[in-house]
Structure 1
Amino acid sequence: MISFVSCQELIPPLLSKSEKSALEQGARTGKTPCFRARCEVILLKAIGLTSEQVAKFTAMTYVSVNGWTKRYQEEGIEGLQTKTGRGRKAVVSVVEDKESVLQAIKANRQRIETAKAEWEQETNKSVSLSTFKSFLKVLTDDISE
């Protein structure tokens, strides 16, 4: 049986001065826009706004507002971070593909498209030319450090 949580059921979080300060800092200078928005959600809920009101301010649904509020209550500010393993997985990995890409580039220094085709044939992976070039940029940044 599916149960629906109404937006009125969640009790607004009670924040200590240190928690409020950490959330305000996160809302201003958090690493990702998602994290900053989630901190803002908790701050707005803490001042007593309803989930619908917070949703309008943050361009989220009230269900998302409730979800982030619940996760904050369970895990604290760390719960507002995006967990690892989310999102699309990379096709090309520095750990796995660095050597084979470098070999393909060394064999075809002047022709990236040829190097890409050779690498794809060798590894049975398929990527766009822009992805291949982006990966080369990552490699050059990695080598420069």
Structure 2
Amino acid sequence: MGKIRTIELTIEQQKALQEGYQLGKTHAFRRRCQLILLKSEGRTSKEVSCIIKMNEISVNKWLDGYESEGIEGLTTKPGRGRKQVFDQGQDEARVREVVQKERQRLAGAKVILEKELNKQFSLKTLKRFLKSLDPKINIV
């Protein structure tokens, strides 16, 4: 068995992590705060991974992030995940115009928009985008 990697926390750091664990905006951030608190108790990465249901490698990765950046290292960085197909600023006007012309046939609007915007997307994606523009729209 290897050496247990622990982290020493000051009282201020413990308070900040406790607050993040109890009041953090996202579930992921709260779990990461809990992870650091558990590691500061001298638990192994394997024990922590079982408690918070996270891969052991991820536990060590978030511990590295905390050690290098502090509590800011536990937040999810912007730009993660799949990029949006439509840009509200650029595509909104054209999408509204084409959908208005093809309002009885959304599939037809989709075909036109795919050609004009040179993007591939599903009918469901188009519906979600329209819904994001105006939540009152009732799209079936």
Give TM-score scaled by structure 1 length: 0.82
Q: Work out which of the residue numbers 54, 73, 76 in structure 2 matches 1:79.
A: 73
Residue 118 (1) aligns with residue 112 (2): yes
Question: Of the candidates 23, 31, 41, which is equivalent to residue 47 of structure 1?
Answer: 41
Residue number in structure 1 paired with 2:28: 34
Post-superposition Cα deviations, 1:79-98, rounded to whole Å, max 9, x if no partner, equal: 11111222221122212211
**Equivalent position of 2:63 in the other structure:** 69
Deviation of the 1:74 alpha carbon: 0.9
Question: What is the aligned length?
Answer: 135
Q: Which residue of 2 aligns with 1:92?
A: 86
* SS of structure 2 residue aligned to 1:74: helix
| Partner in structure 2 of residue 58 of structure 1 | 52
Matched, 1:128 2:122: yes
Aligned to 2:3: 8
Contact 1:27 1:35 in 2 (8 A): yes
Aligned to 2:16: 22
* Cα drift, residue 19 of structure 1: 2.1
Q: CA deviation at 1:9?
A: 5.7
The structure-2 alpha-carbon separation of the partners of 1:76 and 1:42, relative to structure 1 and needing over 3 Å to count, comes to same
Query: Which structure 2 segments of 5+ residues have no match?
Result: 136-140
Aligned counterparts of 1:17 and 1:109: Cα–Cα separation in 2: 61
Instruction: Give the letter for the 2:85 counterpart.
Output: V
TM-score, normalised relative to structure 2: 0.84
Larger RCO (alpha carbons 8 Å, 6+ apart): 1
* Structure 2 residue matching 1:127: 3-state secondary structure: coil
% same residue:
43
Cα distance, 1:37–1:84 mapped onto 2, change above 3 Å:
same
1:70-120: CA deviations, max 9, x gaps? 110110111111112222211222122111111111212232222222211
Report the Cα distance in structure 1 between the residues aligned to 2:2 and 2:91, rounded to whole angstroms. Answer: 47
TM-aligned CA deviation for residue 25 of structure 1: 2.5
Instruction: Give, in whole Å, the separation in 2 of the partners of 1:46 and 1:30.
Output: 19
